[in-house]
Structure 1
Amino acid sequence: MSNLVATNRPRRSVLYMPGSNARALEKARALAADVVILDLEDAVAPDAKAVAREQVAAAVTAGGFGHREVVVRINGLDTAWGKADLSAVAATGPDVILIPKVNGPGDLLGAGRALAAAGTPGHVRVWAMMETPLAMLNAGAIAAAATDATTRLSGFVMGTNDLAKETGARIVPGRAPMNAWLMTCLAAARAHGLVIIDGVWNEIADEAGFARECAEARDMGFDGKTLIHPNQIAGCNAAFSPAEAEVAWARKIIAAFALPENAAKGALQVEGRMVERLHAEMAARLVAIAEAIDTRKVTG
């Protein structure tokens, strides 16, 4: 899979759905989320793990999720449920398997070998939960594991609640205690062409706080945000969708560099503003995302 293709796919809203809730799994097929994470880990009580595994495997096999990217978060491979999760899910061929508690590249190599041994289809990718102190210290090495095809790595998901638990850092407005970790992971992801999704907003009733944090994550450079309730989808999609003015400006930059007389130029003026070829590359990605979003509005 091309990293460019991977990052141009809209992943604005990434909704966790508990695998033990059959009604929620059915509902996931009709929600406006770009990505659904069918969860076997944190959202599922220990005595419901087996039932959740069966229900998620059946849901992925049945399909019907349309344009929605289907991710399954398994339990850690060092837990009592992880290997059975991987075995059951691997055969169903979701778009992505999300590995929790990744501490270093070795965790991804082990998961990749287990996926290969289980006969997992080649198109299935792996995302890593970045949610431990060791993950923050090893972010660059974890992202670099994407260069080894064994890992199937194509994305990071921030686990900010677990980070708070493990470090004692408080989750406060603006997330100052965590910003260094967030940006370290983002830089590592971008250095290796990975998708990166921000952590969840816990206060479902605080719509203003949620909108603020979505805007912060967008401005940091995240592709989207993980969500814990369907009511958060619309606001998240709006925050991470390119504005009409941004798209119009991007098209002007692309058109300017496409002119024959500008073919050899590395920089030029567009409406009095100096732009470089790197701006044209950024503009092309923004337009591609906007067009993909527009296509979804038409097709549903």
Structure 2
Amino acid sequence: MRPRRSALYMPASNVRAIEKARGLDCDVVILDLEDAVSPDQKELAREQAVAAVREGGFGRRELVVRANGLDSEWGAADLAAIAKVRPDAVLLPKVSSPETLREARAALGNGPALWAMIETCRGIVDLPAIVDAAAATGLAVLVLGPNDLAKEMRCRPGEDRAPLLPAISQLVMCARMAGIAALDGVCNTIDDLARVEAECRQGLAWGFDGKTLIHPAQIAPANAVFSPSEEEVAWARTIVAAFDDPANAGRGAIRVSGKMVELLHRDEARRTLAIAAAVAG
């Protein structure tokens, strides 16, 4: 299990930003060729992303490249270039149908995993079909794109993101249905870290594995929120130990510290311990 508590977008057009990313405490670095790059710098960004992947030096961090859409004038060239260097994954913007995944997989061959940004109304509505193609296309992560989705919906999310909650629920449920990860969308606030933390906690409560970020200052609150607490780890160990006790062999539900726990709680406890071990590693 790889922790994905914090996934930081860095513009691939900025060499200094790429170099800085190699030393940041995020779990994922996303070299961005799309939104963070102006049209006149698209080719430069592509060249620098390819060079950065080839050079490496990102350590334990998962390295992802966000390509331009396949329907754009840069998308095909992005995938052709990325296929030669094989980052950990390619993030596809505005995925609205499984056909986008199939086209990307054909372009990339048996290379990196696919991550899909879900940021259109069609993408939300057709999520079941999109995740049904996960196994065949190597789709590993769904990423919420709240800004584009809110624009298309013409809604005004506010701090509670209430208009987006049905879409959030749909995204997380479909990710779990396919057995893949789900990352929350970005928080546009940079200076108010309490707001960032609150949005991370909301994402955790709704079932996300981590959060995409737009600034290094957001890494610490994301890592803190999406890491199991000491209390959660201790409770998980207690549950696992109780079910491992030979006296409880074959039992589907047992009493632990005055609480009734079932096998589903044991499974979730094991997942908590795996996340904690991955974070510690």
Q: Which residue does the alignment assign to 1:60?
A: 53
- The one-letter amino acid paired with 1:143 is V
2:144 aligned with 1:158 = yes
Task: Specify the code of the residue in structure 1 equivalent to 2:148.
Answer: D
Q: CA deviation at 1:268?
A: 0.3
In structure 1, the partner of 2:182 is 196
Hey, what does 1:42 align to over in structure 2?
35
Distance 2:22 2:195 in 1: 28
Q: Which of the numbers 88, 91, 113 marks the counterpart of 1:125?
A: 113
- Alignment correspondent of 2:191: 205
Does the aligned pair in 2 maintain the 1:140–1:185 contact within 8 Å? no
Q: Alignment length, in residue pairs?
A: 281
CA offsets, 1:224-243, max 9 Å, x none? 00000001101110011101
| Alpha-carbon separation, structure 2, partners of 1:152 and 1:228 | 26
Distance 2:20 2:157 in 1: 30
2:257 aligned with 1:253, yes or no? no
Q: How many Å separate the matches in 1 of 2:195 and 2:157? A: 12
- Verify: 1:100 aligned to 2:78, yes or no: no
- State the Cα deviation string for residues 61-111 of structure 1 (Å, max 9, x = none): 000100000000000111100011001111111000011111111111111
CA distance in 1, matches of 2:125, 2:6: 27
Q: Give unmatched runs, 5+ long, in structure 2.
A: none
How far apart are residue 178 of structure 1 and its match? 0.3
Q: Which residue of 2 aligns with 1:244?
A: 230
Out of 79, 85, 89, which is 2:78 matched to? 85
Q: Distance in 1 between matches of 2:83 and 2:132?
A: 24
Structure 1 outlier segments of 4+, above 6 Å: none
1:140 aligns with 128
For normalisation by structure 2, the TM-score amounts to: 0.98
Partners of 1:68 and 1:29 in 2: CA distance: 8
Report the 3-state secondary structure (helix = DSSP H, G, I; strand = E; otherwise coil) of the residue aligned with 2:116: strand
Equivalent residues in 2 for 1:162-201 (5 A)? Answer: 162-201=148-187
Mapped partners of 2:148, 2:176: distance in 1:
23
| 2:205 aligned partner | 219
How far apart are the structure 2 equivalents of 1:282 and 1:203? 32
Instruction: Give the Cα separation in 2 of the matches to 1:213 and 1:134.
Output: 25
**C-alpha distance in structure 1 between counterparts of 2:260 and 2:129, whole Å:** 36
CA offset at residue 171 of structure 1?
A: 2.3
Map residues 109-120 of structure 1 onto 2, 5 A cutoff: 109-116=102-109, 120=110
**AA aligned opposite 2:87:** P
Runs of 5+ consecutive residues of structure 1 not aligned to the other structure: 1-7, 296-300
Provide the C-alpha distance between the structure 1 equivalents of 2:52 and 2:194, rounded to a whole number of angstroms: 34
The one-letter amino acid of 1:126's match is: L
Deviation of residue 49 (structure 1)?
0.2
1:275 is displaced (CA, Å) by 0.3
CA distance in 2, matches of 1:231, 1:223: 19
1:212 counterpart SS class? helix
* CA displacement 1:2-22 (0-9 Å, x = unmatched): xxxxxx311000000001000
1:275 to 240, 261, 264: 261
Give the whole-Å Cα distance in 1 for the aligned partners of 2:2 and 2:268.
Answer: 15
Counterpart residue type for residue 229 of structure 2: A
Contact 1:10–1:34 (Cα < 8 Å) also in 2:
yes
| Aligned partner of residue 103 in structure 1, secondary structure | coil
Query: How much does 1:147 deviate?
Result: 2.7
* In 1: Cα distance, 2:259 partner to 2:128 partner: 35
User: TM-score, normalised on structure 1?
Assistant: 0.92
State whether structure 2 residue 206 is matched by structure 1 residue 232: no
Partner of 1:11: 4
Instruction: Give RMSD over aligned pairs.
Output: 0.8
Q: Which amino acid aligns with 1:127?
A: W
